[in-house]
Structure 1
């Protein structure tokens, strides 16, 4: 059995943020959001890393304790911001679990009709990585700045104040 290749990614301040068996450029981007964040699936520790099951380990990233509400064209979105553990810049976010509430049950124990929310156990946890703040170890070792051509997740260089 082949050992999976591990890809490591750093913050703009060079702090090691995460290690994953899936390269970030190969992951889909969030098309319904203006930030075009990369969708990084997080898998439970119940499955050990293997060649067939992707695995991600968050290293120097910490979630905010409070929820940030973002206004969107189609309503509001509650986000838990994830920051670099060193410089505290926002490098990603996850959606608040309230977006994935389980359907309410009727008296007979069945889900009410018209409730389209998926049960929380069936929702895969994902982390949305913002463009412009994450770089691969190879890119960082090349000596290029994060905004130069070849950055892992190119995008608008949003200032720290835009996410605080």
Structure 2
């Protein structure tokens, strides 16, 4: 399956930081979704990105949008990340990277001469009907939340 703009976003269900299982379809007909995939809790880039989404959380809420973060980290790691940085949105645990593969963000990465599989920082905007309306791949953490907020403001509000 290939993820494409203007098509239905692939549905999934994952354990969430609130102790529940969350499915993308839970929000259908109710909320726009900013779905972002990030490599790892507590790392510098991921912290910058999460804190930017935190700082703009009210702005996203005002536009009827929910923020959902996904990484391969387990729930206990997400809990520490949320508590340390006061994150007001759900983080989902994709420990077997099935959803990351579904959204084609599980990639071969190279760092300091080593190759490994990991998350390519990416963001997807999904409208209330469940249609993928915008995607960003190979995202730079700093300033991205503002860009995503602006897109929702101009296209979904």
TM-score range, shorter chain: under 0.3
| TM-score for both structures, normalised by structure 2 | 0.24
Structure number having the greater helix percentage: 2
Of structures 1 and 2, the one with the larger relative CO (CA 8 A, separation 6+) is 2
Over alpha carbons, which structure has the higher Rg? Answer: 1
